[in-house]
Amino acid sequence: MDNQPRSEFDLIGRFFADLGAHRADVLLGVGDDCALLEVPVGLSLAVSIDTLVAGIHFFHDCDAEAVGHKSLAVGLSDLAAMGASPAWATLALTLPERNDDWLAAFARGFGDLARTYGVRLVGGDTTRGPLSVTVQVHGLVRPAAAVRRDGARPGDLVWVSGTLGDAGLALRHLREGDPVDPALRARLERPDPRVALGSALRGIATAMIDLSDGLAGDLGHILAASGVGAEIDLAAVPLSSAVASRIASEGDWSLPLSSGDDYELCFCAPPEQASLIGSLGNTLSCALSVVGRIRPEPGLVARMPSGESITLTNAGYDHFSDNT
């Protein structure tokens, strides 16, 4: 920590000096003024940073291993949405006090996920203050192959991976003090970034984004960047049975449309690619669903299961309960 230099170096050496996968492209890792990293000729660095603040992005009493996992997972999800291959991470950690049990669990959650995706922790900063975790991730991608938000074209199908709304439902249960099914809770606290899917969609998807804020808003970013609109069919939105029964009982679609933290991928692709994408999903054991289609007219229209169509605006998508 800043005011305790010796204990800071001890802490870094103990928990962060050897975290994640070993990589030959790390010429110098944790311990010097900078890390030295080798970027292969012809590839670009894809860089993204996210901060998780205790009490805002996770509960103060949240399991430290889950905080370590999620702080890296959200960045890996951004790399996935770009079609980039994860390589390195840096970590800025602000801690109210040194707690070695907490640090060991945090490092385990972070390190396990880092090794799973071949990521090396190459540096960071450690300070004293209210608990907050900032992770920057660095991935590699050929610039021409990166999947951006601006490539969606009229006629493209709109796809999503996995099921939507589970993390939002887990958060509601936790906020209401209700018991939460562990699998549902894991969707909120230990998201699995769709790294393999993101890379596999290079050259296939015309536009892609990861779902951190709900389908309506995040697909809205693709539509705005691409200068198009879309129609989505709510009956086609993939739901777990828990979310489906909540929607059936409350008639409120805000869980899949506007709750956050799903970290699934939403992407667009011409209909001719549908069978290839279907087989990709089988190979990767990842459910992939067509939820709609890109249209030339701007705006996002949702077809309700009743057949009625509703225009979703940025502010409006959680104001249409009781329409099923």
- Does 124 bind ligand ADP (CB under 6 A)? Our answer is yes
Q: Which of 3, 33, 176, 178 binds ligand ADP (CB under 6 A)?
A: 33
Q: Which of 20, 83, 111, 123 binds ligand ADP (CB under 6 A)?
A: 123
| Binders in 122-151 for Mg ion, by CB under 5 A | 125
Nearest approach in angstroms of CB 100 to ligand ADP is 14
Size of the site for ligand ADP (CB under 6 A): 13
Smaller CB separation from ligand ADP, 88 or 263: 88
Smaller CB separation from ligand ADP, 123 or 292: 123
Are the beta carbons of 137 and 114 closer than 8 angstroms?
no
31 interacts with, out of ligand ADP, Mg ion, none, CB within 5 to 8 A per kind:
ligand ADP
CA distance 249 to 308: 19
Contacts of 233 (CB under 8 A, 6+ apart): 291, 292, 302, 303
Nearest approach in angstroms of CB 31 to ligand ADP is 5
261 known ligand binder: yes
**Rounded (5°) CA angle 77-80-82:** 115
CB count in 10 Å sphere of residue 258: 22
CA distance 59 to 62: 5
Q: Which of 132, 170, 283, 296 is nearest to 223 (CA)?
A: 296
103 interacts with, out of ligand ADP, Mg ion, none, CB within 5 to 8 A per kind:
none
CA distance 270 to 248: 32
- Does 2 bind Mg ion (CB under 5 A)? Our answer is no
322 interacts with, out of ligand ADP, Mg ion, none, CB within 5 to 8 A per kind:
none
Are the beta carbons of 137 and 268 closer than 8 angstroms?
no
CA torsion 229-286-110-67 (nearest 10°) is 60
Are the beta carbons of 94 and 2 closer than 8 angstroms?
no
Please identify, among the stretches 86-94, 121-129, 174-182, 301-309, the one whose residues bind Mg ion according to the rule CB under 5 A: 121-129
What is the residue type of 226?
S
Smaller CB separation from ligand ADP, 102 or 225: 102
- Does 121 bind ligand ADP (CB under 6 A)? Our answer is yes
16 interacts with, out of Mg ion, ligand ADP, none, CB within 5 to 8 A per kind:
ligand ADP
230 interacts with, out of Mg ion, ligand ADP, none, CB within 5 to 8 A per kind:
none
CA distance 324 to 62: 35
Contact footprint for ligand ADP (CB under 6 A): 12, 16, 30-33, 91, 93, 121, 123-126
Residues flagged as binding site for ATP: 124-125, 149, 212
Residues flagged as binding site for Mg(2+): 33, 48, 50, 78, 125, 210, 213
